[in-house]
Structure 1
Amino acid sequence: MNNIKLFSDSTCDLPKKLLDKLNISIIPLYVVFRDKTFKDGNDINVEGLYEKVDELDILPKTSAPSPIDFYNAFKPYIDKGDSIIYIGLSSKLSSTILNAKIIEDEFQDSDITIIDSKNLSAGIGLLLLKAYELIESGMDKENIVEEIKSLVSKVKTSFIVDDFDFLHKGGRCSSIQSLMGGLLKIKPILKVNDGNIILGQKPRGKKRKAIDLTLQNIYKNKDSIDLNRIIVGESMAIEDSLYIKEQLEKNMNFKEILLIEAGCVISSHCGKNTTGIYYIEK
């Protein structure tokens, strides 16, 4: 049986130490400030991103890895005869999956599978961790791919943004929602549905109220949640992540609560002080 090599892109937001430990390779997206381009997580970190936003008084643009980026990443493993599974950012939010599929077609005689997570950030990360566990269990590639694809619609992603400007200017939020959010002090709970970001509940007031509402929804649905793992993500909002972890430990029985920091591409669209919660339903 061929060795199975796992790939993702930088928007999976899993910590580098964990990715290295699990031998998951990352193909970075790009962050662009005017005429300067940076590889997400390689040439720029989140602190540097927000420093540049303040310094230049502009929001960054982001772009997908090119087909050449995928070719260069995959080829050494193809040459070794490895099988490849790539799990990437939702095709409805980026051309990343499309570019990966171009190279999948280029290597027609090789064993490459491209999986559209229809998600973002740790929503991708959850699928990667599950795929790793299945590889370690000795499952064959065909069944791993089938299992991961069956989980795509079961990954639940919710996040709370503190600043509408990043979503609005990044094209992820309509002008009406941006205006109303600012005027009415709404802290929206955004969700990922079939690969798209949609507006969920719209509590007014402090961000902590929106977090508590999100937690209450988890408690109500606890019987339908896979308790093996939940991920809490943040962009410069570690205190909120620690609060969520504490509440989950009190009220739920997750085997693992993983805290992560959002990378530069995700932070470019959600902005500072964003918090996300990610889990899989049964």
Structure 2
Amino acid sequence: MAKVKIIADSTCDLSDDLVKAFDISILPLYVNIGGRDYKDRTEIDQDKLFELVSEYKVLPKTASISYLDFEEHLAPWYEEGYDVIFICISSDLSATYQNACTYVSGKGWDRAYVVDSKNLSTGVGHVVLKAAELAQAGMSGAEVVEALKAFIPRVNSSFVIDTMEYLHKGGRCSTVQAVAGSVLKLHPQIDVVNGKMTVADKIKGKRRRCLDTYYRNKVTPLLDRIDPHRIFVTHTASDGDAEYFAERLKADKRFENVHITRAGSVISSHCGPGTIGILFITND
């Protein structure tokens, strides 16, 4: 049986418990703020990130993984005879995928694979866990990658943003849209479609009302199609709201495992505090 090693970039936002349980290695992206680079997950989390934003009065920038990082984290596994699978954030949202492909191609390896998750945050996490489960079931690296081609389109990811400031300063919405959103208390619902972020709705109202509308938008119409095995509620600095949203899911007894996770510093850099996302698999 082939030895398979699953490596994910840090935007997968999986909890330490899940990473350990499935023997997944994490390769961090970078966050730059205050003139310093930090490794996502190991040197900075969302709490520290928002503290630094408050201190420096600037928004962070993010950077992809370098050649040297790939050399340090991928090469040892390959040299030990493993089939190496690296799974990363959508190629439409980061240069990580292209950088990884360039690295692997340059090495001339025939047992190393780079997988574009076409997703972000725990949407990537779903793909990573599926790959780990398939590898544990005895598939080779090539077989896992082939199986993921059918799985990736089934990942349904979306989130609601509390403030448009981070989207605005990150160049993802105009000044007029940001001001209007603040005045009218509009909360964009962002869906991930074919690896790209799209505005699916602009939800109006206070926080809990907004979350109730979001639930009706994303969960209610798909109740009979959602795979009950694993659902993620991923958030930034919104523990109470994440619990509220998760309890709504748990109230429907069909869902077996509802995981609350905190987004890492890279994802938090782009959506800001107060973001809530629901990420699940559909059965078709």
Q: TM-score, normalised by structure 2?
A: 0.95
Would the aligned equivalents of 1:241 and 1:275 in 2 still touch at CA under 8 Å?
A: yes
SS at the partner of 1:109?
A: coil
Give the C-alpha shift of residue 136 in structure 1: 1.6
Is there any run of 5+ residues in structure 1 with no aligned partner, and where? Answer: none
Which residue does 2:171 correspond to in 1?
A: 171
Would the aligned equivalents of 2:67 and 2:103 in 1 still touch at CA under 8 Å?
A: yes
Give the C-alpha shift of residue 196 in structure 1: 1.1
Instruction: Give runs of aligned pairs for residues 136-147 of structure 1, distance below 5 A.
Output: 136-147=136-147
Q: Distance in 1 between matches of 2:224 and 2:17?
A: 32
Would the aligned equivalents of 2:30 and 2:65 in 1 still touch at CA under 8 Å?
A: yes
**Count of matched residue positions in the alignment of Structure 1 and Structure 2:** 282
Q: Distance in 2 between matches of 1:142 and 1:73?
A: 20
Q: Distance in 1 between matches of 2:145 and 2:92?
A: 21
Structure 1 residues 35-59: Cα deviation after superposition (integer angstroms, max 9, x where no partner): 2111111112211111110011000
Which residue does 2:221 correspond to in 1?
A: 220
Is there any run of 5+ residues in structure 2 with no aligned partner, and where? Answer: none
Give the C-alpha shift of residue 195 in structure 1: 1.1
Q: Distance in 2 between matches of 1:78 and 1:142?
A: 14
Give the C-alpha shift of residue 13 in structure 1: 0.4
Instruction: Give runs of aligned pairs for residues 46-125 of structure 1, distance below 5 A.
Output: 46-125=46-125
Instruction: Give runs of aligned pairs for residues 123-138 of structure 1, distance below 5 A.
Output: 123-138=123-138
Give the C-alpha shift of residue 207 in structure 1: 2.5
Q: One-letter code of the match for 1:82? A: Y
My pick for the range that moved more, 87-96 or 137-146, is 137-146
Which residue does 2:263 correspond to in 1?
A: 262
Deviating runs (4+, > 6 A) in structure 1?
Answer: none
Q: Distance in 1 between matches of 2:143 and 2:173?
A: 37
Give the C-alpha shift of residue 252 in structure 1: 4.8
Would the aligned equivalents of 1:28 and 1:41 in 2 still touch at CA under 8 Å?
A: yes
Would the aligned equivalents of 2:83 and 2:140 in 1 still touch at CA under 8 Å?
A: no
Q: Distance in 2 between matches of 1:29 and 1:92?
A: 16
Q: Distance in 2 between matches of 1:208 and 1:193?
A: 26
User: Residue 53 and residue 150 in structure 1: after superposition, are their counterparts in 2 closer, same or farther (change >3 A)?
Assistant: same
Instruction: Give runs of aligned pairs for residues 35-50 of structure 1, distance below 5 A.
Output: 35-50=35-50
SS at the partner of 2:49?
A: helix
Q: Percent identity?
A: 38
Q: Distance in 2 between matches of 1:175 and 1:67?
A: 36
Q: TM-score, normalised by structure 1?
A: 0.96
